[in-house]
Structure 1
Amino acid sequence: MDGALWMYFLLALSTAPPLVPNAALIATAGMLAQAGELDLWLVLVVVAGSALAGDALVFGVGRLAGPRVRNWLQRRPTRKAALDWMADRITRHGVPFVVGMRFLPSGRLIGGLTAAVVGFPLRRFLLGAGMAEAFWASYSVALGYWGGAALNGAWSGVLLGTLLSLLVAGVAQLISARTPAPEPPERAP
């Protein structure tokens, strides 16, 4: 193994849990792979594999703590609406929706918990999550890989990618802070 074992460990550690922003780190790993400092295939396996492990862990928590998870998800109107929306689509569309929910905001967390709570089969969930994570890891790492090639060097790309990530995160935070929460749906008497 090369001297960058710490980078693979950091990738796994930051990718497994949902809701951890690590796009800049993944793009950096792609740039370092393009520069020959990391192994591209190992980066892809670590990113996709650790994300899938995190998805399986979320699903497992949902199965073990089903009623408590359902109560937690139903405590706030926005979470309840997300639970209802996802539960309907998971039961209606199955694996294709599991693939798609990876790309929704908080989709890994709410989607994995919802799939477990509504009794979606673990094998079908892992199949969909595995396909989604393979696709997500491929394009995330490829952005850094191609960016490193276009910028003629990994470190200038790392700096540019980090600055762009911070800018996008800042703009998203501003929009989020100024956007009012949706009204809960009215209940029939």
Structure 2
Amino acid sequence: MSDGMDGTLWMYGMLALTTFPPLVPNAALIASAGALAEAGDLSLILVLLVVAGSALAGDAAVYGLGRIGSRRAHAWLDRTPRRKAALTWTADRIHAHGLPFVIGVRFVPSGRLIGGLTAALVRYGAPRYLLGAGIAEAVWASYSVALGYWGGSALGSTWSAMLIGWGVSLVVAGVAQLLSRAARPARGGGLSATGRDGPGGVTPTP
């Protein structure tokens, strides 16, 4: 009984540790947790809470670091042309669309990191950012865990659920990348952090 409980706690701990930081691929682990929940070895509700909650905590940490170290965050984002373009593109859309974009950017590759840092740099309100991030993480956690849950049920195999989780994650990431490229403005345009028309780029607010 103790060994089973230790194994369960270990799985929840691994889910939290790999979901909290952005840019850590753990789709297979989440799919496995969903399959184990379907088999009765884990609690489905607890898996969802751990995955969504740790992801939201990670988003809050990224936002907080961006607010505390705005100059360092801006310097990091400004270090390469690709990051600089992503910063300007994200800032433009946060100003233009607000909460809906905060929700949607989570599903763009590197969206948790770039979106959180940019929202902090342009001083997008913390309550609104956390609301949008919370909605996004709830949606993401639901379909990510469901892939493993229903995949394990239909195919009777945790490994099959893991492969499904990886495959769908890659498809979602690919579609999001195509949409972000199609929506990216022409080089040289953009809004400043104040929302006024400017030559591009974002100036951190002190």
Counterpart of 2:152 in structure 1 is 148
Partner of 2:118: 114
Cα shift at 1:186: 6.0
Does structure 1 residue 130 correspond to structure 2 residue 108? no
1:53 corresponds to 2:57? yes
Q: CA deviation at 1:185?
A: 3.7
Cα deviation, 1:81-111, whole Å, max 9, x if unaligned, reads 0000000101111111110011000000000
Match of 1:181 in 2: none
When residues 64 and 21 of structure 1 are mapped into structure 2, their CA distance, relative to the original with a 3 A threshold, is same
Alignment of 1:138-177 (within 5 A): 138-152=142-156, 156=157, 158-163=158-163, 165=166
Secondary structure at 1:141 match in 2: helix
Following the alignment from structure 1 to structure 2, what is the Cα–Cα distance between the partners of residues 162 and 43?
A: 15
TM-score computed with the length of structure 2 as normaliser: 0.77
The within-5 A match list for 1:1-189 is 3=5, 4-152=8-156, 156=157, 158-163=158-163, 165=166, 185=187
Distance in 2 between residues matched to 1:185 and 1:102, nearest whole Å:
23
Secondary structure class of the residue paired with 1:59: helix
- Percent identity of equivalent pairs: 64
Task: Deviation per CA, 1:111-158: give whole Å up to 9, x if none.
Answer: 000000010000000000000000100010001000011013xxx2x2
Instruction: Give me the whole-angstrom Cα distance separating, in 1, the residues matched to 2:163 and 2:103.
Output: 30
Retained in 1: the 8 A contact 2:28–2:163?
no
Structure 1 unpaired stretches of 5+: 173-183
Aligned CA distance change for structure 1 residues 101 and 67 (closer, same or farther; 3 Å): same
Structure 1 residues 17 and 81: alpha-carbon distance in aligned structure 2, compared to 1, 3 A threshold:
same
> Aligned residue pairs: how many?
174
Which blocks of at least 5 consecutive residues in structure 2 are unaligned? 174-185, 190-198, 200-206
Aligned structure 1 segments of 4 or more residues deviating by more than 6 angstroms: none
